Amino acid sequence: MIDPADDPRLTSYLYGELDDTDASVFEAELAGQDALSARVRAYQRVLEWVREEPALDPAPELDALILAAARKKISDEVQDRATAEVRWWSRWAAGLRRFVASPMYGWVAVGAVAVAVLVVTLPMVEHETPMVGPEILEGEARRDEAPRITNAMPPPSDSPTTTSPPSGMGASRGQIARGGGGGRSPERVDSFDSLDSVDGIGRRDLAKAKPSPERQASAEPPPLKSASKPPSNKTFEVPFEAREAREAREVREVREEAVAAAAAAPVGELASADDEGGPRADREALAGLGAGGGGLEGGRSNGSRPTEAELRRAPARRRSAPVMDKSRGEADLKTLGARAGAASGAASGAASGAAPGAAPGAAPGAAPAPAPAPALTEAPSKKEAKAIDEAERVERAARTMLEAVDREVGAKNFDGARRILRRARANTQGYAAYGRVMYRWARLEFSQNRDLDALDYAKIAATTPGFEGRRAAFELVERIATKLDRSEEVAWARRNLRALPNGRAH
Amino acid sequence: MASTPDEQQPSKEVTGSTKASDAKAESDREDARLLSAFKSGDAKAFERLLRKHRRPVFNFCYRMLRDRSAAEDAFQEVFLRVVRSAPKWEESAKVTTWIYTIARNHCIDATRRAKYRRTTSLDQTFKGPKDGEGPSLQERLRDEAVVPPDRGAESVRMRPLILEAIGLLSEEQHEVFVMREYAGLPFREIAQVVGVSENTIKSRMRYALEHLRKYLAAHGIDGSVIRDGEDEEEGSRS
């Protein structure tokens, strides 16, 4: 017995939403209940009346307004997509505008002007006041032990790394004061302090001061704030500008030499870490690496394999490429030039025949260099900072592209993912990012059972120096080659896996 | 029981239920395709979607708000929201459910803002055909009660009564009734829009129909059918 007030089938039946079986059952029940049948008929009549109400249409102009809004939305999105690639520039410009508009900008500008004034005026002051006097002689004697080029400009900032010059380098101002003994007479402390504040000790004051053995023994050196200064006018035998130009020229020559060596290296040599039976990366792929990629292997004209430690160091060097510290000797200069060459994708060996970080004693005319690597100035130059920014931008771009690939793969849009990877391969600069792109591509193709393509891409990734996932790439090569029953490539992958640090034992 | 054979067979819709559900499924797929195409930048696809849904959505708004200008504002706002929110739409959601959820929310907000009256006083006068004041509902009901139940003329006379009866539905029953009758949403989708179970929706619909039937019967409308049903019901109870 159906209670018409409670049975939900009644409504479904009225609206034809019961399937045929349920409808038959319900009709059979209806047939035995006249009251329910009458209720159903009454509902149907009510619904008929309701449905006789004509449907209304909205005003046509509303459609036009809505469609115009839709078209505008589409055009806005198209514009957004078109400007997405230059949006980073807009953000940067907006950030700059905000900074310029902020009150901090004024202070920074004032500070920059003050520093610039100091940088320009200090050497002039020193030129005007050459140090003479017996109190300098001891310092001069010490300076003679140092590399000859020690009269460089003071570094622009008070970097702590330059506060204690290594032994054998030019005599510091503190040493001068100690050696001369007359650095700080009690009656002149105030004037010296004021001079110290601008990173200089008054030469005239030093010259006037008498050497005093007692003070020499007891006086503590003033805290150093910058690299050593030339203690005597002998260091000005070569005009400073000429020396700086020479140094710059030498560095440029070293870099050009190294870049030329890198350019002359065969592509296969660049791509492959192991040539014995290993694959050759295609030239097109490697062309996408870009000149900015730091390469160790590119400059290995002797064909020797780099160690894994060297491979790992390469990107780090690129980021923290040292700037020239002009307080060092020519040997240091050579070493720095070599390192700069390595950082710009050149071979370190091509620069001076010495490995990076090697003792610079071989440099002509240089005094014996300190055994440990000197503490280099870490503050990057403008050019180096630009290179670092560029590297970070490349890194971000690669990461964004890989995230986009993941999204496309998640949406099962594999062709879209391939398009992005193709673009990434063409645009990516730097070995690490390139390796990541190729490894991702290999995984994609492998998941799509395109094993031959996957194998090629995995090989490229595995042999990309600087790519941190080489182990995984080699493992992928091994896996794909095993699937394809390619014993040579399996063996090659296993050999390389063993050669890698913490390699697997087979 | 005075009823014709075709009245005893109210299952005309039932026989085509499978075809109707297939057609509904195809319609849903087409909606999804159109909205996806619009998301991809196809303005024509949105135009087709608008043309497909403009009338039911507008009627839904009109029945909910009971004011044409308010309904047109709501209609425009609903589709503008659809345009703005299209990127957020996920293909797992039905387009109709999504649109009517937007429309319902907007109508509820608009109703609360404008404090539209959900009930009509029996003393309220109706506008005549030339915007003149007509008789009150009470007068009309009194007049109509004596009119013989001729079906053709009856429906014309019934229209304002039906509207009044619908206006007296509770808010919950009203929105279900409007969504089902004027927007054509199946009960499952109404349940999704309203956020209650399908059986609850069916129950609300049944109560709404019962309310309309009683309202009309109380005013002697089409007594041949409605009273007949009541008499039979009473007879079966006795």
pLDDT digits (tens, 9 = 90+) for A157-186: 443 333 333 333 333 333 433 433 333 333
- Whether the CB of A17 is below 8 Å from some CB of chain B: the reply is yes
Q: What's chain A's average pLDDT?
A: 62
Find the range with the poorest average confidence among A27-41, A214-228, A235-249, B182-196.
A214-228
Give the pLDDT of residue A258: 52
CA-to-CA distance for A295 and A318, rounded, in angstroms? 10
Does residue B117 register a pLDDT over 80? no
- Where is the domain boundary, B86, B117, B148? B117
Strands (E), A66-110: none
In this complex, do A16 and B186 lie within 8 Å of one another by their Cβ atoms? no
| Rg of chain A (C-alpha set) | 38
CB < 8 Å from B in window 221-250 of A: none
Name every residue whose Cβ is closer than 8 Å to that of residue A443 and which is 6 or more positions away in sequence. A454, A476
B229 and B171 both lie in a single domain: yes
Residue B137 vs residues A45, B71, B143, B208: alpha-carbon distances, Å: 22, 24, 10, 20
**In which band, very low, low, confident or very high, does the pLDDT at A430 lie, cut at 50, 70 and 90?**
confident
- Whether the CB of A29 is below 8 Å from some CB of chain B: the reply is no
Give the pLDDT of residue A230: 42
Does residue B190 register a pLDDT over 90? yes
Give the pLDDT of residue A339: 45
Does residue B196 register a pLDDT over 50? yes
B81 and B138 both lie in a single domain: no
- Where is the domain boundary, B87, B117, B147? B117
CB < 8 Å from A in window 191-230 of B: 199, 202-203, 205-206, 209-210, 212-213, 216-217, 222, 225-226, 228-230
In this complex, do A66 and B76 lie within 8 Å of one another by their Cβ atoms? yes
Kindly state whether residue B123 falls inside one of the protein's structural domains.
no
CB < 8 Å from B in window 179-208 of A: none
Kindly state whether residue B2 falls inside one of the protein's structural domains.
no
pTM score of the predicted model: 0.40
Kindly state whether residue B1 falls inside one of the protein's structural domains.
no
Q: Which two tokens stand for residue A268?
A: 């296969």
B110 and B166 both lie in a single domain: no
Q: Give the position of tokens 């290993």.
A: A278
CA-to-CA distance for A393 and B205, rounded, in angstroms? 61
CA of B206 to nearest chain A CA: how many angstroms apart? 6
Q: Which two tokens stand for residue A450?
A: 């395109």
Does residue A21 register a pLDDT over 50? yes
- B65 contacts B74 by C-beta, under 8 angstroms: yes
Average pLDDT over residues B64-89: 89
Give the pLDDT of residue A196: 39
Kindly state whether residue B236 falls inside one of the protein's structural domains.
yes
CA-to-CA distance for A472 and A464, rounded, in angstroms? 12
Is A86 exposed, middle or buried, given 0-12, 13-18 or 19+ CB atoms closer than 10 A? exposed
The one-character DSSP state at A502 is: T
Does residue B237 register a pLDDT over 50? no
Instruction: Specify the long-range contacts of residues B105-108, CB closer than 8 Å, at least 24 apart.
Output: B106/B61, B106/B74, B106/B77, B106/B78, B106/B81, B107/B60, B107/B61, B107/B64, B107/B65, B107/B74
Kindly state whether residue B158 falls inside one of the protein's structural domains.
yes
Q: Give the position of tokens 């009458």.
A: A38
Kindly state whether residue B231 falls inside one of the protein's structural domains.
yes
CB < 8 Å from A in window 67-86 of B: 68, 71-72, 75-76, 79-80, 83-84, 86
More confident of the two residues A127 and A90: A90
* Beta-carbon count within 10 A of A344 CB: 20
Kindly state whether residue B127 falls inside one of the protein's structural domains.
no
A33-42, A265-274, A335-344: which is most confident: A33-42
Burial B24-51 (b: 16+ CB within 10 A, else e): beeeeeebbbbbebbbeebbebbbbbbe
CA-to-CA distance for B161 and B169, rounded, in angstroms? 13
Here the CATH number for the domain that contains residue B90 is 1.10.1740.10
A502 phi/psi in degrees, rounded to 5 = 55, 35
B112 and B137 both lie in a single domain: no
Q: What is the ipTM of this complex?
A: 0.71
Q: Would you state the CATH architecture of domain A385-499?
A: Alpha Horseshoe (1.25)
- Provide the domain count of chain B: 2
Does residue A12 register a pLDDT over 90? no
Q: Which two tokens stand for residue A166?
A: 């290594």
A84-98, A374-388, B65-79: which is most confident: B65-79
Here the CATH number for the domain that contains residue B192 is 1.10.10.10
Does residue A131 register a pLDDT over 90? no
B150 and B85 both lie in a single domain: no
More confident of the two residues A22 and A376: A22
CA-to-CA distance for B149 and B225, rounded, in angstroms? 10
User: Does residue B133 sit in helix, strand or coil?
Assistant: strand
Domain of residue B42: give its range.
20-117
H or E segment to which residue A382 belongs: helix A382-410
* Beta-carbon count within 10 A of A389 CB: 11
CA-to-CA distance for B43 and B37, rounded, in angstroms? 8
B61 and B138 both lie in a single domain: no
Report strand pairing: B125-127 vs B133-136.
antiparallel
Tens of pLDDT along A444-482? 999 988 888 899 889 888 888 778 888 899 999 999 999
Q: Which two tokens stand for residue A254?
A: 């070293």
Kindly state whether residue B125 falls inside one of the protein's structural domains.
no
